[in-house]
Chains A and B, each alone.
Chain A
Amino acid sequence: MVELLEAVIKRPNFVAFVALFLWGLYIAITHHNLVKKLIGLYIVQTSVIFFFVTFAAKQGATVPILLSNDGKIEARAYTNPLPHALTLTAIVVQVATLGVSVAVVAGIYRNYDSLDEAEILKKLE
């Protein structure tokens, strides 16, 4: 138990990720307001992007551009660029999702004059 606690305390970035992820999921599931659901979804997606960034972080490393051409490459001096590239793509996907869902929410509001899910479901029947 103590070891587990120690392992958790040593990794505050992962704790932050878990907290953000669960918080977003909780908002998306429990709130009745459609826009708040979207915000929850946004937090969940952002937390995963944060996770990518945090496990790719490296102390004392720099961008992966070769500084000199003398044939000696110190891998420890550079960060891995791939997680950052993935993060960029994931952000683009997230923006697209958000755009489409905001459009759909706007359509719902125009049709039903409400953003509350319970109220909309009542109007559907």
Chain B
Amino acid sequence: MMKHIPAVLFLIPLVAAISMPMVVLRRPGWGRPMTLFAACAMCVTAVANLLVVLNSGEIRYLFGGWRAPVGIEWVADGLASVMMIAVSLLATVCLVYGGSVKLPGSARRLALHYILILLLLSALTGVVFAADLFNVFVFLEVATLCTSGLVAIAGGKALVFAFRYLILASIGATFYLLGVSFLYAATGTLNMADLAQRLPGLLGSKAVIVGLVFMFIGLAIKMALMPLHGWLPDAYTYALDAVSPLLSSLVTKVALFAWIRIMYWVVGAGHDAETAQALRVCWMLGALAAVGGAFLALIQQDVKRMFAYGGVSHIGLIMIGAGLGNQTGLAGSMFYLINDAVMQATLFVLAGVAISHYGVRTMGDLAVLRERAPWMIGGLIIVGLSMIGIPPTGGFFGKWYIVLGALQSGEYVAVGAVIVATLLTMAYFMGLFVRIFASHYGGGEQASPVAPAAEMPLVLRVCVGILCVGILSLGLCSDRIVKVLLDATSSLKL
């Protein structure tokens, strides 16, 4: 029974999504409870999955019972299991938050939106567990379609940016597929474990190098790595407030996870001189993204857009850790990836509350929040501390391990990039807090067109509370989590 857990984890949202249209036809109100129930069931299953993996080693699930190089295989190791817990918990919290936000349209249309969310969750599960390059392609493309559907559902401006995302991400997926076909032509296999055995002797071959470069470009578009991030800020800014936390916290991170998987588990990076060069390019691109994203965030006026650029910058930070080629940096970057997922969800939940509840959209409106929004400000302070990287929060420990890894491999420029990105992050959060607290920024009743609302409703407070507790506990339990991640990466022998 236990060996079926990865497949069950995938089937829960898929079955819910497929049965949803039939259920909603009779009971229009059931869409949301069903989605929430599926997400909660996923959480429980994901925790069970991690416990099984920690107790009895990784699960290799063979679809249809066909053995690996011929059949399709899923691998649930420590890394994938931790990632899956993060995905399902965040999805649950974002869904709880999403229910309190008004969505346009009838119950029918709402049901469509829940179907898309469920399909997105099953696609993300697929990417995390897949141990087969072509499987990763299919699930990434399903995730892309669901994402652009979720962005487009807001209508109006969001449609244009959903289309742009769809075109760019599909070109990215095609590049990835082309890379996969090069690797297949060179090795004759698509299974990750099988490829890992056949690739080492072939790393000098032009076909393999070009294939890997194509795959990297494809995934870099999907993860919004700096020069290819153009679709992200607009899409997230104009998406519905209810879905942007979900998208920002999960979609790009899972593409990055897929690249880390390919780089270390398939190519076997970090063992020889050729891959060391490739890794250096990776962390340099990461450093560019970390600094550039934070700088672009600094000059934004729209709050949601500022947070979106913050996310671009943090993808770069994770990439720095993943490109160092040692275990400390890799475990640190995986830890930071999970942290960043939680932080992005928190930021976009807070931005959504600020828009829908307090009418705050740009930096100039922020003064409205003074004195009236203790939960909002408290949440912002905690997530700000974590984004900057101040000790009790998770963000600090992630950056700490990344910097340790950089020092270990003697890449002082990477250390510098992390520090500069941190300072820039601090600068834009300072800008935010100055506009909230400093008295000369006016505000008050005269400046705000809407009547100041009372405290936000209980559901929102619970969401913000859970996310903040999550950020703090990621920091306080960082030892344990990093130990699990170090164990999960120990098989690489970096």
Contacts and interface: CB of A to CB of B under 8 A. Distances in A.
A82 B431 CA distance: 56
Given A48-B178, A100-B145, A108-B160, A83 B167 contact: no
Size band of the A side of the interface? 20 to 34
B149 A100 contact: yes
Interface string A4-46: 0000000000000000010001001000001001100100110
Interface string B402-426: 0000000000000000000000000
A90 B177 contact: yes
Contacts of B142: 93, 96
Interface in B131-182: 134, 137-138, 141-142, 144-145, 148-149, 152, 155-157, 159-160, 162-163, 166-167, 170-171, 173-174, 177-178, 181
B437 interface: no
A105 B145 contact: no
Nearest to B166: A101
B185 interface: yes
Contacts of B134: 86, 89
B171 A51 contact: no
B123 to A, nearest CB: 12
Contact of A48 (B152, B156, B162, B177): B177
A51 B141 CA distance: 19
Contacts of B152: 104, 107
Contacts of A48: 174, 177-178, 181
Interface string A83-98: 1001001100100110
Contacts of B170: 41, 45, 97, 101
B184 interface: yes
A48 B134 CA distance: 14
Contacts of B181: 48, 51-52, 55, 83, 86
A63 interface: no
Nearest to B238: A124
B138 A101 contact: no
A34 B171 CA distance: 15
A52 B174 CA distance: 12
Identify which of B145, B157, B166, B167 gathers the most chain A CB atoms within 10 Å of its CB: B167
A99 to B, nearest CB: 9
A4 B159 CA distance: 46
Contact of B162 (A21, A86, A104, A112): A104
A104 B138 contact: no
B229 to A, nearest CB: 17
A97 B155 contact: no
Interface of A: 21, 25, 28, 34, 37-38, 41, 44-45, 48, 51-52, 55, 82-83, 86, 89-90, 93, 96-97, 100-101, 104-105, 107-108, 111-112, 120-121, 124
21 contacts: A25-B171, A34-B163, A37-B167, A41-B167, A44-B171, A45-B170, A48-B177, A48-B178, A48-B181, A52-B181, A82-B184, A82-B190, A90-B137, A93-B142, A96-B145, A97-B141, A101-B148, A101-B166, A104-B159, A108-B160, A124-B160
Given A55-B181, A100-B148, A101-B163, 19 more contacts: A28-B167, A41-B167, A41-B171, A44-B171, A44-B174, A51-B181, A86-B190, A93-B138, A96-B142, A97-B144, A101-B167, A104-B159, A104-B162, A104-B163, A104-B166, A105-B163, A107-B152, A107-B159, A111-B156
